[in-house]
């Protein structure tokens, strides 16, 4: 066996082994080792990587081994060469059979992609450390390093940790790195085995990129977490299917939180969620089926909250802490949330669309509004359990309007009103409306031609003919589009991408004949912009992508429209 205590002894033993196997006594130059070894049939694994240029590995050629599939174990006799290197970038990139590396990186500052795609790498023995390292982009990406290897190291000077442990590493605990110096954590732990973030507060004051940091990991609980200066937290917890709770999450300068909790199917509670600079919330809570509460939700720059909780049918409580003053579209915000009990801190002062905001919220008890912020027709007709305090907050929330507006409330709430409260409502120029069976939801009606019904994944769906139709968005199978239902066949024709689609069929409802629209040019439904509610969220049902599904959906839409 070759000695590995130093390079000279190792090369001497290699030369002797070559002479023995080739039956020669000739001297062999180190530069000839590679060719000589390859000529030996059945050469053992330890010779399967070229040795002729090993003596050149060092500061002059730190990436010599890049892409070598022969390299399986990096021996310790290269320490002197390692000490020369400051730039370890790509040093062992794509050495796909490398299992263990014995190095000394004490002088290194750049470690970007040092072990990138070393898909069998389990252990790194570093007789130095990584304390001077700044850039660790993709450093351990797509390796199989574990806590046993990584917890020995401290990354004291790190600035860039992008995808550092992402894409397959087996670490389960948060590594030791400097939270003050790091600025880029994009995909730092994406798709790795990370499961434990500890219980101490985590604060990353200088990180600007927090996209997909913890996405597709195994984390269960998130302690207080703060990214003071990040501008994007897109997908930060995306598809963390084991995640159940987030304590307080503070990202005060983020403008993009799209898909932040998308696919967190077991997430039930969020403490304080502070995202005051975010204006739109593309799929923020998509498929968060178990979400029950957000203790405080600061959305002070938001303009559109339509259907924000569309797939969170277990939502019980949320407090917007009076932060919705810029929101214009609240349509369908809580539609179909039959277990919702508490909705606080609502400022409706900029609202232009309140359609179906609380449709079917039959368990709502506690609700608070900013005073004088409700200026347009408002419907709480599904909510019979409002507390006395909530009723008074609702009355206080009504603004005095020039044009008479309608306040729709449940009969059980109306009977609680005192004469003084009724007088106050009237003095603000509001009518009290008590819904009766069969009274229609006029907000679902669309009459005029060339009316945009919805924009879905960037594709516009427009009703193109005059005539009264009832409208909604809907998902059939895995495709999302619009549904128009009318007694007039022409009224359900719509256009998409310049093509017109006429009625797909008709059915009988209450002894009348109704037509329903086509299912053509539907989309994946990741981003829905519409003033009309999504039928699946209201009915809690799925519909097949055929005429039978269309007929069932149309029936449910009419039941909802007629308050049946």
Closest CA to 110 of 93, 87, 131, 132: 87
Report pLDDT digits (tens) over 404-446: 999 999 999 999 999 999 999 999 999 998 876 545 687 898 8
Report pLDDT digits (tens) over 217-273: 999 999 999 999 999 999 999 999 999 999 999 999 999 999 999 999 999 999 999
* Main-chain phi, psi angles of 380, to 5 degrees: -120, 30
* Dmax (CA) of the chain: 115
Binned at pLDDT 50, 70 and 90, residue 561 comes out as confident
Q: How far apart are CA 363 and CA 390, in angstroms?
A: 13
Report pLDDT digits (tens) over 468-501: 889 999 999 999 999 999 988 888 999 998 899 9
Provide, rounded to the nearest whole percent, the portion of the chain with pLDDT above 70: 89
Q: Which residues pair with 512 in a beta bridge?
A: 509
Binned at pLDDT 50, 70 and 90, residue 362 comes out as confident
Mean confidence (pLDDT) of the chain: 89
pLDDT value at residue 535: 95
pTM of the model: 0.73
- Any idea what DSSP says for residue 399? P
The half-sphere exposure of 419 on its side-chain side, counting CA atoms within 13 A, is 0
Highest mean pLDDT among 36-40, 203-207, 463-467, 483-487: 203-207
Beta strand spans in 173-298 (E): 176-177, 202-203, 221-222, 225-226, 245-246, 249-250, 269-274, 293-298
């Amino acid at each position: 066996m070759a000695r590995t205590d130093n390079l000279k002894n190792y090369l001497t033993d290699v030369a002797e082994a070559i002479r023995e196997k080739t039956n020669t006594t000739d001297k062999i130059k180190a530069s000839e080792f590679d060719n000589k070894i390859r000529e030996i049939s059945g050469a053992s694994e330890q010779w399967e990587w070229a040795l002729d240029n090993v003596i050149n590995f060092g500061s002059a050629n730190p990436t010599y081994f890049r892409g070598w599939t022969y390299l399986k174990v990096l021996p310790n006799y290269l320490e002197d060469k390692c000490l020369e290197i400051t730039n370890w970038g790509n040093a062992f990139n794509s050495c796909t059979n490398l299992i263990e590396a014995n190095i000394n990186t004490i002088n290194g500052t750049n470690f970007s992609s040092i072990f990138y795609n070393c898909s069998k790498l389990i252990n790194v023995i570093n007789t130095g450390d990584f304390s001077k390292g700044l850039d660790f982009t993709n450093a351990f990406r797509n390796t199989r390093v574990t806590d046993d290897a990584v917890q020995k190291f401290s990354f004291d000077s790190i600035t860039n940790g992008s995808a550092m442990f992402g894409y397959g590493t087996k670490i389960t605990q948060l590594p030791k790195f400097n939270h003050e110096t790091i600025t880029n954590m994009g995909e730092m732990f994406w798709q790795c085995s990370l499961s434990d973030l500890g219980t101490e507060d985590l604060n990353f004051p200088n990180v600007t990129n927090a996209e997909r940091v913890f996405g597709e990991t195994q984390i269960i609980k998130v302690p207080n977490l703060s990214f003071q200066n990040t501008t994007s937290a897109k997908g930060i917890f995306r598809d963390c299917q084991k995640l159940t709770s987030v304590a307080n999450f503070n990202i005060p300068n983020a403008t993009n939180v799209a898909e932040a909790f998308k696919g967190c199917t077991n997430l039930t509670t969020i403490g304080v969620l502070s995202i005051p600079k975010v204006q739109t919330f593309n799929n923020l809570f998509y498929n968060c089926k178990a979400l029950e509460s957000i203790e405080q939700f600061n959305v002070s720059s938001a303009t559109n909250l339509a259907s924000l909780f569309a797939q969170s049918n277990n939502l019980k409580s949320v407090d917007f802490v009076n932060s919705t003053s810029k929101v214009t579209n609240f349509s369908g915000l809580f539609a179909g949330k039959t277990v919702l009990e508490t909705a606080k801190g609502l400022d409706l002062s900029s609202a232009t669309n309140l359609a179906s905001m609380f449709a079917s919220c039959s368990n709502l008890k506690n609700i608070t509004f900013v005073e004088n912020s409700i200026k347009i027709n408002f419907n709480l007709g599904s909510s019979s359990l409002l507390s006395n305090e909530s009723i008074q907050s609702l009355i206080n929330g009504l603004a005095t309007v020039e044009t008479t507006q309608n306040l729709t409330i449940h009969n059980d709430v109306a009977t609680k009103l005192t004469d003084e409260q009724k007088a106050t409502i009237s003095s603000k120029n509001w009518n009290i409306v008590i819904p009766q069976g069969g009274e229609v939801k006029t907000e679902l009606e669309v009459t005029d031609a060339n009316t945009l019904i919805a924009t879905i994944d960037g594709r516009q769906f427009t009703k193109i003919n005059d005539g009264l139709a009832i409208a909604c968005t809907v998902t059939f199978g895995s495709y999302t589009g619009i549904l128009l239902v009318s007694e007039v066949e022409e009224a359900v024709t719509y256009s998409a991408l310049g093509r017109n689609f006429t009625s797909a069929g008709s059915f009988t409802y209450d002894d009348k004949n109704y037509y329903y629209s086509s299912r053509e040019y539907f989309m994946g439904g990741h981003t829905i912009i519409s003033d009309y509610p999504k039928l699946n969220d209201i009915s809690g049902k799925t519909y097949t992508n055929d005429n039978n599904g269309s007929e069932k959906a149309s029936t449910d839409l009419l039941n909802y429209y007629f308050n049946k």
